[in-house]
Amino acid sequence: MQAVNTSLAVETIADFDAVYHSYQQAVYANIFKMVRHPQSAEDILQEVFLSLWKNKDKVTADRVAGWLFVVSYNKAATYLRHRLKLSLVRLDDPAHIENIATDDASPDTLYQAQLSLIEDALQHLPARKKEAFHLHYFEGRSYEEIASLLGISIGSVKDYIKQAGIFIRKYTNRNYDAAITATISLLLLCTSVPA
């Protein structure tokens, strides 16, 4: 039987520096892959390592890599969900959404318009698929939580969310200009939470 290393990963500032230098590039890449914004990724990276320092007496050396990647994923997902909630506005006039894509719109305005397109597409889904999708992407619920809330199997939850995502991409591509729908797939991918 193999012995488990239960020593703490960070006991001194030198330990912290060593962990930081060993993992910071990989953790940054993990975060950037989700948020696609260098400054935000850098800010989240600092939050991850601050969290490591605050939890240094709980993280063992054999678990530090996994801990860093889980925390970085969760912080990036939280950042994206927060951005999603802040930007989620209903634009009543679809023509206005199309005009945003052709104007010199700010990234936030374009982001809000894309989120409005997702909301528009959601209105055309059956109630159960819409609810499963909303719970997963907008509330950050796991498949297990959604299955329990809706009284359906985890397999059904996964299927509903997958079908909803496919429908949203097809619906927005079919009904709106490609300039504004180009990043919807990325938005859906990046705001997904772990199963």
Closest Cα to residue 10, out of 63, 76, 88, 85?
63
Residue 194: strand, helix, or coil: coil
Q: How many CA atoms lie within 13 A of 129 on its CB side?
A: 16
Q: How much is the pLDDT for 70?
A: 86
Between 145 and 89, whose confidence is greater?
145
Tracing tokens 């490609």 back to the chain, one arrives at: 178
Calculate the average pLDDT of the chain: 76
Percent above pLDDT 90 for the chain: 21
Q: How much is the pLDDT for 45?
A: 94
Closest Cα to residue 136, out of 99, 162, 108, 100?
162
How confident is residue 17, by pLDDT bands cut at 50, 70 and 90? very high
How confident is residue 171, by pLDDT bands cut at 50, 70 and 90? confident
Q: How much is the pLDDT for 21?
A: 94
DSSP class per residue in 72-116: HHHHHHHHHHHHHHHH----S-HHHHHHHHHTT--HHHHHHHHHH
Domains along the sequence of the chain with CATH: 13-86 (1.10.1740.10), 88-190 (1.10.10.10)
pLDDT, tens digit, for every residue of 27-49? 998 888 888 788 889 999 999 99
Angle between helices 38-54 and 64-87 (to 10 degrees): 130
pLDDT, tens digit, for every residue of 48-67? 999 999 988 888 888 888 89
Q: How much is the pLDDT for 74?
A: 84
Query: With contact defined as beta carbons under 8 Å apart, do 146 and 136 qualify?
Result: yes
Closest Cα to residue 44, out of 55, 28, 23?
28
pLDDT, tens digit, for every residue of 87-139? 444 344 444 444 444 444 444 555 566 667 777 788 888 989 888 888 887 76
Residue 193: strand, helix, or coil: coil
Structure tokens at 70: 């889980």
